[in-house]
Structures are given as C-alpha cells and as structure tokens.
Chains A and B, each alone.
Chain A
Amino acid sequence: MDDKQRVKFYQKGTFTVGNRLVDKKERNVQASMDRSNAITSGHRACQGCGEALGARYALDTVMRVTKGKVIASNATGCLEVFTTPYPETSWQLPWVHSLFGNAPAVASGIAAALKVKGKKDTRVVAQGGDGGTTDIGFGCLSGMFERNDDVLYICYDNEAYMNTGVQRSSATPPTARTSTTMPLGDAPGNVFGTGKNMSLIAMAHNIPYVATASVSNLQDLEAKVEKAMTFRGSRYIHIFVPCPLGWGHASDITIQIARLVVDTALFPLFEAEHGAVTNSTPIRKRLPVEDYLRPQRRFAHLFKKGAIDVERIAKLQKMADENIKRFNLLRKEEDTI
C-alpha cells in the first residue's frame, strides 16, 4: 500500500466531494474531471434546485458503473419539464418520457426488450418525483417490483407537486404548508397520520435492494447507487431533494436543509436487502427538529411570534425519535446496526 494511504485521515475529514490525498480509484464520481454530467448546463431548474443535483449525482454514478450503457425512463414532473422544453434537452444519455404514471412500466418494457435482444450490459433506470412515484405511478411501480423487473427506480423526493404549483402529495410531511394544505383552521398545514413511506413499501415487495439517500451526503449517495447496480432485479433508491421555491428557503441552503433533515433524524438514511434493513448511516451530531423546520417558510406557522406550536413540534420530534430507535441512528460509526 502507498505510504500516503496508511494514515487514514485526510485534511477535509471524510465528507467533501473530492480529496487530493485519497487514492484515485477511491474518489467520488462527482470529483472527477470526466464525470458524464448526465444533466448538462442550461436546464431550467430554479436556483439551488436539489432535484437537479440529486439526479446528476445518481445518474453520473450509474453512467460510471455501466460505462455509459444506460437508458433512462422519466415520469412527468419538475425533472422532466426543466430538462426538456422542446426542442432542447439537457440529458446526455438515452432518455424517454411517456406519461406521468407509467415510467416504471416503460422501464420494465425496455428491460424486457434488452433481455430479448441479449444486451445484458445495458442497464435501465426509471426516475420520477414523489408525486409520480408515491401517487400517480404507484400501481406501475408496485407491479414492476412484484415482477422483479431488472430496473433501478430512483425517486427524487421534494415532498409535493412542485411543477404544478406546490400541491400536497402523499410524501408531504405533517404540518407542511402546500397550496392545498394551507395553515388555516384546527389542523394547520398537512395533517398527521397520512402519507406513505415509499421505501418501507418497496421493502415489503422483498426486492433485492432498497436505500434512502440525501443530496447532503454525496459519499453515502454514490455508494448506494453503486451498490444498487451490483444487483439484478428491481431496486429502489429514495433521494431527499430540497426545493427552495416550494419549501420557502434560501437557494444557497439547499444542501444545508438536506443535511439538517438527516441530522435531526426526520429522514433516516438506511439500506435494506430482500426486505430486511441491513445498514443505516449514524448521525454525527444530533440536532432538534426545530433546526430543520425554522429556515423553511412552509413550517413558518409553527413558529408564530408568541404562539409557537409546541404540541405539533413535539409530535414531529417524536417522529424523529422513533426513526432513531428504529434505525439505530445514534450508535458509533464503527458499530454495526
């Protein structure tokens, strides 16, 4: 082993995108000068879009692993709209969009065709936002999982229908303001006790691999995408992508918000294989949920001057606490789950 590698500690710690002291083979895809930039510049995503970032992180990794042999199908949603206003496209890989709800079915078809043609090397990715995944495409996706079609499905979760004007989806968290869950009346914002946890639903299909990731933790995200590509059959990755416009936070804190949701345990990072949780990413420095909620205007009604909604904040905190217990998020990094 190279002498430089023997001291396993680097100036930047472990969490920056690149590092001159790390062996070239171990470096992140996003640090390389020849990353594929699956979504190229000139797309029309808002300033500080978390989804544009998450999609590039995930697809560049897939491109690296498959040596560029990948076909993507895309649900309707922000990602589709901001990348492909006719006749322009930002996609630098074969990419197809059909309907809002059928991205998994289209991907299943492509996978079947590749199988018939004997093209084992070419892999298939399907992707969509939370609306296209948890609501509109839910049936097709469940079917794809159930048949165990050889597709990696990636959900970019920004917790509402952003493209059409911030309407509630089944991924919108409790208390969040959307244009259809306004902070009025007895139950301000989205109500408690609704919504779906798509990752757990995917696990219930016993598919080979399920993982959650956040754009704030690139190392973790790339490793999970890479791992997903080692499996054949249906795989599901759920990536948390903040939306500055829909959530009402400054465009420069997109990654900070994505980090806070992890550090407050409102969004646990974990992996599961064949229906069982195999790993989770421990929280380095635990923070109270307020730290995550306060910078976002969609939660502003919880923090009205003189009328802080202690009860609902406590309920959200309880959700975070349960995540910590369920996924063992406070253990030391070297301990196994």
Chain B
Amino acid sequence: MEKQKNINSKKDKDVNKPFAITLDVGTSLANETGSWRTERPVYLDRLPPCNNACPAGENIQAWLYLAEEKDYQGAFQEIMKNNPMPATHGRACYHPCETACNRKDVDSAVNIHAVERFIGDQAIEKGWVPKYDAKPSNKTVLIIGAGPSGLSAAYHLTRLGHKVTIYEAGPVAGGMMSFGIPAYRLPRNIIQAEVKRILDMGIELKLNHKVDDVQHEMKTGNFDACFLAIGAHIANRINIPTPDTSKILDAAGVLRDMETGNNPPKLGRRVVVYGGGDTAVDVARTAKRLGAEESIIVYRSGRDQMKAHDFEVKEALEEGVTLNWLTTIKEMDASGSIKVEKMELDAEGYPQPSGKFETIEADSMVLALGQNVDTSFIKNIPGLNIIDNVVEVATNMMTGYAGLFAGGDMVPSERTITVAVGHGKKAANQINAWLFDKTDSPLPKHELASFDKLNDWYYTDAPITVQPQLDVIRRHTTFEEVLGGLDDSNALYEARRCLSCGNCFECDNCYGVCPDNAVIKLGPGKRFEFNYDYCKGCGICVKECPCGAIKMEPEEI
C-alpha cells in the first residue's frame, strides 16, 4: 500500500513538471547571486502628502484605495476612524490635502473633497453607521459646546467606551458649522444628519444650557473629565465714527441671525462688508442672496493679502460681489455715506495711508474683522491660563486645571472646522489616556512621500473632475447649494486618480521588472518580499516603483 502511494506521488510530480524538463539537478538555483550585492532594496511606507496635510488626521489614501474598488462603505468606515462628518467636510473643509497632493505635478490635484462628499452623502442616504468595538469604561466626560470640536471629541470618546454628555448654549448643535458657514455652502440637512448619527451612538445633548461655572457642573454631574470647546463667537469691532450705530453690524451676528432669527437681517439695497477673510466673503454673498443690489467688500490690503480662499472669492465675483481692496473705512454719516481712504502698499508689502479719500454710499455696513473667545466664565478656574484671549493648553490639550481639556477655536490654532475636528480627536485620545493614568504618545510619522520619490511615467494623464455649479441667476436669490456633487461613475474615476504616494498598491511592478526573479509575490493584500538569496542589488525595482515604496540601503559587511 505504502509502495503504491509512492508510485502515485512520483507520477503526479512528473505530470506537474513543465513540459519535457529533465534537468532537476544542475539548476542555476544553486548559484546564490545575492552575494554580489552591496546594496539591498527594502520596502517601506512613506507618508502621503494628503494625509500629512489633513488637520483631522484622516488616512485619505486608505479610503481612496477602498473607493477605487467601489467599496464606498469600507471607505466610509475608514474615514469614520478619524472624522465623524465626511459629508460636512466634503463641502466646508478648505482641503489642504489637495494643496499638498502630488498629482498637481502630473496634471491637477485629486478632487479629494468631492469624493469625500460623495461617500458622506452615500452614508446619509443609505443610513450607514460607524462600526466600532468599545468596552464600557464607566467613566463620564462632560463636553461644553456642540461645535465641530465638541462633537468630534464626543464621538471619539464614545468610540473609546466613555459616557459623554454635551452642554450647548445655543438652540441647535453644530456651532460654527451652522452659525458661521452659510447654507449655500453647507446645507443644514447635511449637518443635522451627521450630528444625529453622532448623537445616536448614545451621546446626551442638552441644548440651551449655558454653563456659567465649569467646576460646579463637573462636580454636580459627577464627570471624570471635561472638554471645553465653546468656540470664538464675539465679533471684533473697531471704532468707526458714525451718528447712527444701527447701520453698523457684525458678521458673526448677521450669519447667526440667518440661522436663528425669525426674520433675516435687514441689510438694505447697498451693503458694505469690511474685512478680507472667508467670513467677509460669506457675508457679502449672503447679502446678495438677501436682495442687495450692491454688495461691496472693502479690504485694507491688496488682493493677494486677502485671507479668504481663492475659490470663495471667485464664486463671490461670479455672483456680482465687488471687491474694493487697498481701502480703509474712516467714518459713516447719518445718510450712509462712507468716507474711505485709499491705501498703498509699501516696499515691505504693508498698506500705508495715501491721503486720497473717496465716498461709498451704503445702507448698512458689516464688520468682518475676526472673532474672539468669550472667556468671562472661565477666568476664575485655578490654573487655567488665558493668553491673548485664547486658552493655553499643554501638548495633551489639557488646561492648567487637572481634568479640564480645551480645543477648537478657543485655543491657539487656525480656526477651521477641520482643525476643530482634529482637536476633538486628539483631546479624546488624551482624555482617555489621562483617565487611565497613561500617556498617549502618537506613533512617529513616516518620512514624506514627495513627488521626486515617484515614477510618474506609469500614471496616465487624467484631468480632474469638475463639480457642477448652480446657475448664477439662482445664486442671486436662493440659498441652494452652489456646488453639486459627484455621481457614482465620476466619483470612482476621481478616486482612481490617486497616485498612492509612498504606499504599495500592489501594481506588481517590482515583481515584474526584476531581472533575477528575486521578488516574491505574496498574493492579494499581502504585498511582496525580496528573495535576498538571488537579489543582485541592481536597484531597478526602486527606480520603477511608481509610488516610491522601496528604497536602497547599504549592505552591512
């Protein structure tokens, strides 16, 4: 029986051999050419520029990878690891990822925000919820403020197993997403849907609950820690001499009234907005939609110095907003005549008065000169430091008062919703560590996958997909969303424009181009391995890797 089996297996072996092969012995495999090598190739992961630039710490490349396979739900879950509001961010984030994207050096950056928005919208439409696995920690955390950073912290703390309660002073959740970003950029049903998805995880939200005494609230509620995220809502004002102050409004107030007021703010036929940031542009565009015939942005410095994003200014100009740069406002008389002085840029690029004056007629003037934090209710907390009207926090986001953390617009930072969401996540991790007496130190970052690490010959030209825009006529009268979304097929196309900078996407190039068959393919999802017995160290795989995921290292002798 045993013998029989042997004969069979020998026969099988012969059958499986390549046709007419006789030379088992004497194969060149005996000659291990790896000994020729002075340098060895090694696989590595580099940090894609998009991930590096994302303030919310999203792994953009990873979710684009899933979206490329049409696995939008997988992509959604990947986004949710870092950012609970993709439909919101796909609209309102200023996408620094796209500014960093290496594809801009091939043709144009990947339209990342449009794909994120598509995935976010799919999630809302199909009712996808985040998957996570958390054991209840029996710890409770209070969050003050239901803006982007508060909601993000609540979400991430819940994913970590903590019980979260949010106190919000206003009548709706969303913070600056609702009160700072106009509906034509971010429709309210989108915010509501994403906030609801977060709250449905078991988070308690108390609206119209203004906190006056943080310590007292923490004590009475038996909270183990607290995250402060009240934002910056107080408008900066300057003194403009006028007999009729009722004609001078502030931008934060105007945008807030748009949300909460029963009547839209009365701005009149001719509106002047003073400032050069995104908020100034938002107000000017809002004024147009409220029926203003003239909506003029007055800004003291030059066009290039404006802090507002280019696309916002472009869209505003399309809608008929006019820009009056290098101009300062001196005074406003009772009839609405505004005296302005023209400015000139000096050698250093700073605006200086020119002594030339002009007049602009206006029914109202809106100041959009930045916002400040209302620090009145936290001034007396022991250990808590307020410097330049923002709250000082350590690297772990904790204030000087143990267990009290802070983030978002109220700490020193760039004030965008994405930075705020990033703060929320970071604070959640740090609160989690603090609650368990541990330290949370993030893993060291990989080296950056810059464009010079790529071999772009392998990527075909594929121009960016442009999102459809609402007709200009309708942008004069309605608050309908200006930018349209992608559909199923162009979202897939756009996701596939990703170059996968710095991370193997299993294109098989190394496996194919090795003259010595010294690359072992491990199968789908498992990447590759070098066979150093035969690798001669020629380096072709490094040069031909499209995404820069291999490097040469000197061989140790």
List chain A positions with a Cβ less than 8 A from chain B: 3-4, 6-7, 9-21, 28, 30-31, 33, 36-37, 39-45, 47-50, 52-53, 56, 63, 68-71, 83, 87-90, 92-94, 122, 218, 244, 250-256, 259
Contacts and interface: CB of A to CB of B under 8 A. Distances in A.
B507 interface: yes
Nearest to A42: B28
A36 B533 CA distance: 19
Contact of B511 (A10, A17, A83, A92): A17
Nearest to B508: A18
Interface residues of B, number: 59
Given A13-B458, A255-B543, A56 B28 contact: no
**Residue among A3, A53, A69, A252 facing the most chain B CB atoms (10 A cut-off):** A252
B508 A30 contact: yes
Contacts of B460: 9, 13-15
18 contacts: A11-B496, A15-B460, A17-B512, A18-B508, A31-B508, A31-B511, A42-B30, A45-B516, A47-B538, A47-B539, A48-B536, A48-B538, A53-B513, A88-B30, A89-B27, A93-B18, A254-B538, A255-B513
A52 B69 contact: no
Contact of A16 (B23, B458, B498, B517): B458
Interface of B: 18-21, 23, 25-33, 36, 68-70, 457-460, 462, 489, 492-493, 496-500, 505-509, 511-518, 521, 523-524, 531, 533-534, 536-540, 542-544, 546
Contact of A18 (B512, B517, B531): B512
Given A47-B538, A254-B538, A256-B543, A18 B506 contact: yes
Contacts of B546: 12, 16
A14 B543 CA distance: 18
B32 A42 contact: yes
A90 B542 contact: no
A28 B512 CA distance: 9
A218 B462 CA distance: 21
A331 to B, nearest CB: 16
Nearest to A89: B23
A7 B543 contact: no
A47 to B, nearest CB: 4
A87 B506 contact: no
A309 to B, nearest CB: 28
B557 to A, nearest CB: 17
Contacts of A90: 27-28
Nearest to B520: A33
B543 A9 contact: no
Q: Tell me the interface secondary structure of chain A in the complex.
A: loop
Nearest to A34: B521
Nearest to A88: B28
B506 A20 contact: yes
Contacts of A39: 517
Contacts of B531: 41
Nearest to B514: A53
B493 A9 contact: yes
A20 B524 contact: yes
B411 to A, nearest CB: 38
A275 B123 CA distance: 59
Given A14-B460, A36-B18, 16 more contacts: A6-B489, A7-B489, A11-B68, A12-B459, A13-B458, A18-B506, A19-B507, A20-B69, A20-B506, A40-B29, A41-B28, A44-B33, A88-B28, A251-B538, A253-B543, A259-B457
B508 to A, nearest CB: 3
A182 B96 CA distance: 56
B500 A11 contact: yes
A83 B542 CA distance: 25
A87 B26 contact: yes
A157 to B, nearest CB: 16
Given A10-B496, A94-B21, A40 B521 contact: no
Contacts of B27: 40, 42, 88-90
A44 to B, nearest CB: 7
Nearest to B539: A252
A30 B544 CA distance: 15
A47 B500 CA distance: 29
A41 B489 contact: no
